[in-house]
Structure 1
Amino acid sequence: MRTVYVNGDYLPEDQAQVSIFDRGFLMADAVYEVTSVLDGKLLDFDGHCARLERSLGELGMTMPVTRDELLDIHRRLVAENAVEEGGVYLQITRGAADRDFVFPADDTPQTMVLFTQSKPGLADSPLAARGMSVVTLPDLRWGRRDIKTVQLLYPSMAKMEAKAKGADDAWMVEDGHVTEGSSNNAYIVTGDTIVTRHLGTEILHGITRAAVLRLAREAQMKVEERPFSVEEAAEADEAFVTSASTFVTPVVAIDGRKVGTGEPGPTAKRLREIYLDESRRTAI
């Protein structure tokens, strides 16, 4: 049985409890992060902490613990649950208070929970080896997608619709252009250029995205940060996604149309290799 963390306590998962009045439960008034684990170590922990602090700040919340304390919690959970490959999920809510649209008093204690998920084979993913298929769907999420909130109903519905259509995932489209995947950032490769949407409120500021683009530029690859259309994506030479749990994963079909040769392309495969090597080297 897993050990989990709830508001300062380490508990067996079947003993963990959160109030029914918690605003994360009632209002989705909460943010989260997922930090990947490889070889029992945390990937890009500082990046996830920085985004967590930003998300909290955008919602008028503060960090309930220091970065060092948060690192200690992550490491203890990874060790106690013997996680070699997988991730640590963290969620912070505004706390428990009687249901009201108005925020509770500033001194309301926040709720913080963490748990681990073991995912053997994360680095040697069969999906990455064969490439994934996506379908395009309208992007009906709220306008502040740059804040990593727990408002994940529509992304979940999009993922389920993709599965029902026989695809692996969905790419969401707004004003004719791809924003991002249901749980990842989206890219195409045209000629020798990697194209991905620029940062703004329309997409999540992916931690893996930032690392992959930095590594791509260091490898002398050309990068353009701009919107791209579904048609441009379908006619691209390659496509791929990035996220904390999928790293770099090729996309080989969009709405049933092959991308390039219909096989994982060299750019995506090289970026995955570079990213995994760098991540293992810098993991803590």
Structure 2
Amino acid sequence: MTHNRPFAQVDVFSAIPYRGNPVAVILEADDLPDEEMARIANWTNLSETTFVLSPTDPSADYRLRIFTPHRELPFAGHPTLGSAAAWLDAGGRPRNEGRIVQECGAGLVDIRRGADSTAGSTETLSFRSPERLRSGPLEESFVQQIAEALHVDRSEILDHQWADNGPGWAAVRLSSAAQVLDLRPDFSAIPDAKLGVVGAHPPEHEHEYEVRAFVPGVGVAEDPVTGSLNASVAQWLIGAGLAPASYTATQGTALGRAGVITISHEDESIWVGGATTVCFRGTAFA
């Protein structure tokens, strides 16, 4: 049955509204058919559109379904934080103070509110990274294809890793943030790639790393700011001793955005956080 449902569009991972990554969130979506969710996500044409439903697990506060313009994902980072912000903004009250539990295709995901969160439109939120579904080094033939797509010599890829916590990420590390920002890739030979690229900022920089996310396989040439990728990259880099236990990364610079992602390794878990701002509130006719 078609009717008006609460709707929000939330900017994620930037303290400056409209400089992060937007997600469309439709609440009260329990009776919305799968094909209608997919059609709406294709129409919004954002990297992700989410639908908030009643949980099936009694320990969860809500259930989330996440769609790109072309397919459903079991988990994604910026939709997780943006949907939690929209749910709180619409009056959602977690079962446990300061801790939200999201049910999704990847299982239960813990989300916590930052100390500087407010009752207004802006929230600082972090999610506990789910375990990777796939890790370990990439196949050498794939690394060579990636080097060709990035227009870099194979020797310039310092490290590589499967970093898949749901979307299917592969990741490579280059020598510097400047090299990452200079990339002008061509993925025509590997059109289904979901690739993250990371490089270190110079020591005097405010943040430690620059990240870019290329996802032509889901209809998004480059994602502005990507929570799932930063989560799995942090698991890789910190686990391998290549990064400190806590750091901040920037993403979206090449697209004119100002994304900042906070990473923290605590009690054997990686927490990924950032600012969220509810930019639009209204209703969706669905």
Q: TM-score scaled to structure 1, two decimals?
A: 0.31
Higher relative contact order (CA closer than 8 Å, sequence separation 6+):
2
Q: Which has the higher helix share?
A: 1
Q: TM-score scaled to structure 2, two decimals?
A: 0.31
Which structure has the greater CA radius of gyration? Answer: 1
